[in-house]
Amino acid sequence: MPTRAMAAVLQLLPALLLLFPSTPEATSSALLGISYGRVGNNLPPATSVPQILGSLGVGRVRLYDADPNTIRAFANTGIELAVGVPDECLATVSTPSGAASWVHTNIAPALPATKIAFLTVGNEVLTGANSSSLSRYLLPAMQCLHDALAQAGLDKQIAVTTAHNLGVLATSYPPSSAYFRKDLLPMLCPILDFHARAGSPFLVNAYPYFAYAGEPTGVELQYALLEPGHAGVADLGSGLHYTNMLVAQVDAVYHAIAAANSAAARAVEVRVSETGWPSSGDANETGASPQNAARYNGNVMQLVAQGKGTPLRPMVPLRVYMFALFNENMKPGPTSERNYGLFKPDGTPAYELSYRLPQDNTSPSSVTAGGDVYNAHGYGSENGGYYSISAASKATMVSSALLYSVLLPIVAFGFVRMVLALG
């Protein structure tokens, strides 16, 4: 082929590849996930969980450990897992050999049948009760696990991250003034460097409920509940307007990251690894009620389903794990701790949600397990729309295929004529 024609081919090839991706996406991005804790002695078997998730249209699940039976329950369902590396394992996996052994024992056997997308190393390590003894292991554990995944050829498939309590912030209001606690900066700055290099998200457990319960006279309930009609709050520092507290908390983390590590701020995405509202609490736990839990969690689902970002990052869709799937009767602490579940242990809803996700939030294979399923009312199995690719997704796939079949010959013909002319 003549040199000029070859040059034209090389210049246009990337554009052509962008116009015609090899395979249209068959499933949604599943922006919403849910945390599946198991601190209870009356919970249903893990094998029934994919059916329950189908009633919510949820395609992502966060686990807090790597229990093999639980992971196996999601095999061949298409549900994406974030698998937890428990706090007690941090010291072990902070060495190359320990991390490699952990991955070999806990992750490799589940693949490829189970879809594992993340390892979350510890939970709220830097602010937890054992922070003084565990914090020094956190970054080495993340690095060693990432290296172990790379050695196994899994680093492009499974990302490594950790979940932080919002208490890593010294201040969060207004969002533009947020910054990390100074005593945590020596640990957080290199963690941010790790996220930027590895391409993994910064996870935060964000609970407007705690802000409201701690100061019910100073925080408007409608703002904390994410009610769509609330007038919102202006951030004079940034000029941005916040209609609910959850997105304000997320943007506070973005601002804190920028203040701590401006280079990482350009690359690191913030995701919500936990958020929820209890349906019951002690007498002094203001706002813990089924009505408020239904409003909050329904509003979270609606917010995420819109696919929008935060005021500070409007082009980055908000990704959230709701907390939690079940009420867990053995969790310590106040009554609220045992009442965050969307479902009771028998698989029936803890309350009626005010909103239901569109059908395409979950992947088509996420509910292939047999048996009856639960809908939002805890009955029967008449929820077929959640158990297949949605009509919208199918229409997109068909229209995309038609578009490619029509346009590709046209573009290819024009491209060949141009090459011949140049030759």
Residues forming the active site: 124, 274
The token duo for 161 is 């991250």
Given phi > 0 = left and psi -120 to 50 = alpha, else beta, which region is 199? left
DSSP string, 19-88: HS-SS---S----EEEEE----SSPPPGGGHHHHHHHHT--EEEESS--HHHHHTTTTS--EEEEEE-GG
Count of Cβ atoms closer than 10 Å to residue 360 Cβ: 23
Report which of 74, 138, 146, 82 is spatially closest to residue 110, judged by C-alpha positions.
74
Distance, CA of 133 to CA of 325 (rounded, Å)? 30
Whole-angstrom Cα Rg for the chain: 23
**Would you give the end-to-end CA distance of the chain in angstroms?**
7
Query: Which residues are within 8 A (CB) of 295 and not within 5 positions of it... i.e. 6 or more apart?
Result: 225, 226, 227, 277, 354
36: helix, strand or coil: strand
C-alpha neighbours within 13 Å on the C-beta side of residue 227:
13
The answer to whether the beta carbons of residues 313 and 24 sit under 8 Å apart is no
Distance, CA of 235 to CA of 56 (rounded, Å)? 34
Pairing of the two strands 60-63 and 32-36: parallel
Query: Which residues are within 8 A (CB) of 326 and not within 5 positions of it... i.e. 6 or more apart?
Result: 36, 37, 40, 43, 44, 341, 342, 343, 344, 345
